[in-house]
Amino acid sequence: MKTLDINCDLGESFGHYIIGNDQAVFPHITSCNIACGFHGGDPLHMHRTIESAIKHRVQIGAHPGFPDRPGFGRRKMELPPEEIKATIKYQLAAISGMAKSLGADVTYMKPHGALYNMAVVSESISNTLIDAVLEVDPNMRIMGLAGSLFQELCESRNVRFISEGFADRSYLPDGSLQPRISEEAVVFDPGKAAEQVLEMVQRKRVRTIGGTTIPLEIQSICVHGDNPAVVDILKSIDEALANTGIVKRHF
């Protein structure tokens, strides 16, 4: 039986600012990446999101990012490795402690936004993130872009890496994601997103912006929680997986 994990970035609301539609998303996913209060989220929304994950039996992951709430963590920041590591450890400690207070565990870490993209190409950033995770919880897994330098470095250091593909993002020929400044970067069409998922799961490849296909082996599929079409995309993926006999299950 072929299985697939579906993850989503959640808990990114803060104060009176509501981002995404978390409660409508939870029934369709198997893992959630919860914001840790820097790019988004706050203690109350973190608490509520963990409670919802427990209720829906969804695996909990940490989603730390740069201290850049105005830019939603999607702006590149040049910080020294020591500061990046401390920033990540701070966020991991916060969500792990909150989860434990509710009887749950944080089983993996997925960096957010610009930090995620920088880890794809930077050995220094990748190793800093790995160091932070190992120093907080050596058993915590790391999720990142499939086929990236980040994956190579995690595996070389015997850290279990969860290779991730995206249902709602476009790919460049080198396997990286199309930058968000491009109009083609984000996929809003549910049918197109579901088709991209099946291409990755069944054929282990993805079509790029240029029309070529590149090999890609993934263990988890992400749909962004702040995508306005997120619920319709998840429903379309549900239907596509059901029609092909693929079962949703967390890693």
Residue 198's pLDDT is 97
d(CA 219, CA 51) in angstroms, rounded, equals: 25
pLDDT given for residue 210 in this prediction: 84
Q: Whole-angstrom Cα distance, residue 144 to residue 74?
A: 16
Residue 1 has pLDDT above 80, yes or no: no
Over residues 63-69, mean pLDDT: 97
Query: Tokens for 37?
Result: 């209060």
Q: pLDDT tens, 78-115?
A: 999 999 999 999 999 999 999 999 999 999 999 999 99
Specify the amino acid at residue 120.
V
* Average of per-residue pLDDT across 9-16: 96
Task: Count CB-CB contacts under 10 A for residue 57.
Answer: 9
Query: Average of pLDDT values for 56-78?
Result: 96
- With bands split at pLDDT 50, 70 and 90, how would you rate the model's confidence at 200? very high
Phi/psi of residue 52, each to 5°? Answer: -65, -40
What number of helices (H) and strands (E) belong to the chain? 8, 10
User: What's the rounded mean pLDDT across residues 235-249?
Assistant: 97
CATH domain 3-248 topology: TIM Barrel (3.20.20)
- Other CB atoms within a 10 A radius of the CB of residue 21 amount to 14
Residues 18-40: tens digit of each pLDDT: 999 999 999 999 999 999 999 99
pTM > 0.85: yes or no: yes
Could you tell me what percent of the chain has a pLDDT over 90? 98
DSSP 60: E
Give domain limits for the chain.
3-248
